Structure 1
Amino acid sequence: MTIKDHFSITFNLAFPVVLSQLGQVLVGVADSMMVGRLGAVPLAAASLGNSIFFVILMFGMGVSMGITPLVSIADGKGKHKRIGHLFQHGLWINIATAVLLTAVIVGLSQGLHFLDQPEEVVDLTIPYLFIITSSLLPFMIFQSFKQLAEGVSQTKQAMYVTVICNLVNVFLNWVLIYGNLGAPAMGLNGAGLATLISRVMMPVMMGFYVMKSARYSVFDLKLGIGKLRLLLLDKILKIGIPTGFQYIFEVSAFSAAAIMMGWIGVNALAAHQIAINLASVSYMMVSGLSTAGMIRVSNQIGRGDFKTMREAGMVVFGMTLVFMSITGLIFILMRSYLPTLYIDNEEVVALSASLLIIAGMFQLSDGIQVAGLGVLRGLEDVKFPTLITLVAYWVIGLPLGYFLAFQLDMAEKGIWYGLLLGLSVTAVVLFYRFYKLSNRMISANKPVVSV
């Protein structure tokens, strides 16, 4: 198989996933842009609420991804009955995860007043956080159907659902935030309610497609709990839970950065929200490439073709470098314009522009580490990458950011320079990890990593 063939297959898989993953973060982007018109305090409240919620959401998303590589390997081997069992077990894992994570957010919300954030920001954050937290259960059910579809290399359907529901979210934002079409002007809470409604629609639409499609009838999908097996639950969780922690260690580092920004002031927190919102767009887009890499790598393992598996993974790294180079240039060259899409406060715009320069610098590192996590997940290698993300962000990145910001008086820039280093360390280590393991598999002609 040529590089061109790899590129074509990966692109066709990745493009719908990119749009689907992008849709998840665009809900927060749309909320932030439209809430920003209300002022710096509501925008800062959205930043604080989304920082907490997004960490938990990404953990749930990571847990749900335990389904995909196992489905993809089974698909490569033609084991249709096993795919049905994996879906059933994954669905119940995701439902239980949603209930648990909802309880976690409710508990965390009680401590917001102790984070030394501006009181007016906290007062707006708590009700907004409760509303968007209600969307966790429907989101995790949607993820069950989405990860099943991606595991059998059907990536377009989730894209269609996500795009439609995001358009609904934007329309409902316009209605509920500002009080259009005779609705009450709910402000920030209106944005939360719009998010909840759009996320309830997602599992209904995706579930209807999967359960009615002839493509999935061969898998004998069941929703009951009578035949759940601990061995299969354990297999999914051994991939899903470390993957969830990979997301948590990175995303929570940026959430911790948001808390440190709050110590500097409301404008710094609002600027951080704008910059991280924009950076999260490219992050989620490249995570689509990462997912495509995971699918391709795991599917080739199922087929026993380890040389093609390695080539597929390396092509994903190459595509990631090209894409993130472009986004990095966009952030740097348009740093003064992009923040104006969110807010017209001159000080916040100027602070955001300075952070976007750093965001442009860490695009390559961010992209490579996301791609690395994906292709290694395709190898079922999750424990070591999880440890690396913990060390890079929480042992290196955040402490350095705190030191630069508050000891060397670099303020908001210091926090982001620390994050830049954490991303760079992760990128280098994960790329080398895949290079080493894939070569070992080719030499042994068998999988050599087990979760």
Structure 2
Amino acid sequence: IFGNLGFPKLGGAGAGLASAMTYWAIFIMSICIVIKAEPFASFRLFQKLPRMNISRIGQILKIGLPIGFAIFFETSIFAAVTLLMGHFDTITIASHQAAMNFASILYILPLSISMALTIVVGFEAGAKRYKDAQSYSYIGIGTAVLFSLCTAALILLFRPEIAGLYTAESAVLQMTQHFLIYAIFFQLSDAIAAPIQGALRGYKDVNYTLIAAFVSYWVIGLPAGYLIGTYTSFGAFGYWIGLIAGLAAGAIVLFIRLKLIQKRQLRHVSNH
């Protein structure tokens, strides 16, 4: 971006180039691991290509497409909010982006737990060890909430220092600190919603998470944020309030869904 260490100054295009280089590096490393490292090397994936199996492809798409669209609804909402906030001044938008960037970095913690839960819950549910799958679900949710309390305390205690990572301009510093207060509530909602999504995907319950993501973000979060941000004194902060409301609503309905699935599976085991 800035042209340091002899590289040309590419600006925003430099960020795109760096991202492309990163993903290509990950792709090459992944291929090397699959070829060289066990247990993947024993599968000999690239030595003999199997025949196309339409039914298996359909099974993968039946699970994968809803997961992909759910992630799309979740990530695209933040771009939509930024576009809708375009009528605010530069200081407000810069502060919003700085706080949102930091909140997105912290989201890696519940997201990683969510991915792990998809694996362990899927493994246990596939083996019909539903009690263990349930235990993993609650361990994951509890761990994510614990992490979120730590990150919330971090934001609360070090807001000036966190804002200072992004800018030295006093007006942006002050407003970023205000946005970071709302980021605390983001952490708490994400810590519940993300692990539950991962657990539900482990149970192969992907359509419900897709609907929940669409409704919570695009039916509740964005319209509520627009109304609060446009027609109340909250201004730009109203969009954050709307997103937090959508996240909270999504977390509640996903938790109810998780409880229903677990209760149904345990009942099935007791009947047999």
Tell me which interval the TM-score lies in, with the shorter structure as reference length: over 0.9
Task: Note the alpha carbon deviations across 1:299-330, whole angstroms, 9 max, x for none.
Answer: 11222211111111111111111111111222
Confirm or deny that 1:238 pairs with 2:44: no
* Corresponding residue of 2:78: 254
Q: CA deviation at 1:420?
A: 0.7
Alignment of 1:106-185 (within 5 A): 177-185=1-9
Q: CA deviation at 1:261?
A: 1.9
Q: CA RMSD in A?
A: 1.8
Confirm or deny that 1:431 pairs with 2:235: no
Alignment of 1:196-207 (within 5 A): 196-207=20-31
Given the two structures, how large is their TM-score scaled by the length of structure 2? 0.93
Match of 2:131 among 298, 302, 307: 307
* Corresponding residue of 2:225: 401
CA contact (8 A) 2:114 2:194 kept: yes
How many aligned positions are there?
270
Distance, in Å, in 1 between the alignment partners of 2:173 and 2:58 is 48
Please give the secondary structure, in 2, of the residue aligned with 1:186. coil
Distance, in Å, in 1 between the alignment partners of 2:11 and 2:47 is 39
Distance, in Å, in 1 between the alignment partners of 2:186 and 2:204 is 27
- For structure 2, the residue ranges without an aligned partner over 5 or more in a row are none
Q: CA deviation at 1:226?
A: 5.9
Q: CA deviation at 1:224?
A: 6.7
Distance, in Å, in 2 between the alignment partners of 1:214 and 1:370 is 30
Alignment of 1:52-71 (within 5 A): none
Q: CA deviation at 1:223?
A: 7.3
Match of 2:242 among 407, 418, 425: 418
Alignment of 1:1-400 (within 5 A): 177-222=1-46, 227-400=51-224
- Greater relative contact order (Cα < 8 A, sep 6+): 1
Distance, in Å, in 2 between the alignment partners of 1:178 and 1:249 is 32
Task: Note the alpha carbon deviations across 1:194-222, whole angstroms, 9 max, x for none.
Answer: 22222211111121011112311333424
* Corresponding residue of 1:84: none
CA contact (8 A) 1:261 1:272 kept: no
CA contact (8 A) 1:396 1:422 kept: yes
One-letter code aligned to 1:211: I
Please give the secondary structure, in 2, of the residue aligned with 1:344. coil
Distance, in Å, in 1 between the alignment partners of 2:195 and 2:40 is 29
CA contact (8 A) 1:262 1:268 kept: no
Identity %: 34
Q: CA deviation at 1:182?
A: 2.9
CA contact (8 A) 1:373 1:385 kept: yes
Please give the secondary structure, in 1, of the residue aligned with 2:159. coil
